[in-house]
Homo-oligomer: A and B are copies of this chain.
Amino acid sequence: MRPRRRETPRSGAAATEARSTRYRNLVNPFEPVRIFTEEEVENIHLAAIGILERQGMRVLSPRGRAVLKAGGARVDEATHMVRMDRSMIDAAIAMIPAEANLIARNPARNCRVGGRHVVFAPVSGPPAVSEQSRKHAGTMEDYRDWVRLSQHFDVVHVLGQMVEPQDAPTEFRHLETTFAQLTLGDKVPYFYCRGDGQLEDNFAMLRIAYGIDEARFRSEPHCYTICNTNSPLQLDLPMTDGILKFAENGQLVIITPFTLAGAMAPITIAGALTLAHAEALFGITLAQLVRPGTPVMYGSFTSNVDMKSGSPAFGTPEYTKAAFGAGQLARRIGAPWRCSSATAANAPDAQATYESQMSLWGALLGGCHFVLHAAGWLEGGLTASVEKFILDVEMLQMFAELFQPVSASAEEIGIEAVNEVGPGGHFFAAAHTMQRYRDAFYTPLVSDWRNFGAWTDGGAKTATQRAGEVWRETLAAFQPPPMEPAVLEQLTAFVERRRREGGAPPVS
A114-122, A164-172, A409-417: which lies at the B interface?
A409-417
Q: Does A507 contact B (CB under 8 A)?
A: no
Contact: B449 with A313, CB < 8 Å?
yes
Q: Does A188 contact B (CB under 8 A)?
A: no
Provided the pairs A321-B406, A446-B351, A455-B346 are in contact, do residues A271 and B414 lie with their beta carbons within 8 angstroms? Answer: yes
Q: Does A274 contact B (CB under 8 A)?
A: yes
A205-213, A215-223, A238-246, A357-365: which lies at the B interface?
A357-365
Contact: A267 with B30, CB < 8 Å?
no
Contacts of A81 in B (CB 8 A): 423
Q: Bound complex: CA of A186 vs CA of B399, how far in Å?
A: 40
Contacts of A433 in B (CB 8 A): 262, 266-267
> What does the 1/0 interface line of A186-202 toward B look like (CB < 8 Å)?
00000000000000000
From 14 to 41 in chain A, residues with beta carbon under 8 angstroms from any chain B beta carbon are: 29-31, 33-36, 40-41
A464 to chain B: closest CB distance in Å? 5
Contact: A423 with B234, CB < 8 Å?
yes
Q: Bound complex: CA of A406 vs CA of B452, how far in Å?
A: 43
Q: Bound complex: CA of A348 vs CA of B275, how far in Å?
A: 39
A-to-B contact residues, CB < 8 Å? 9, 12, 29-31, 33-36, 40-41, 43-44, 47, 50-51, 54-55, 57-58, 81, 133, 135, 230, 232-234, 261-271, 274-275, 304-313, 316-318, 320-321, 325, 344-355, 357-358, 361, 365, 379-380, 382-383, 391, 394-395, 398-399, 401-402, 404, 406-410, 412-415, 417-419, 421-428, 430, 432-433, 436-438, 440-442, 444, 446-452, 455-456, 460, 462-464, 467
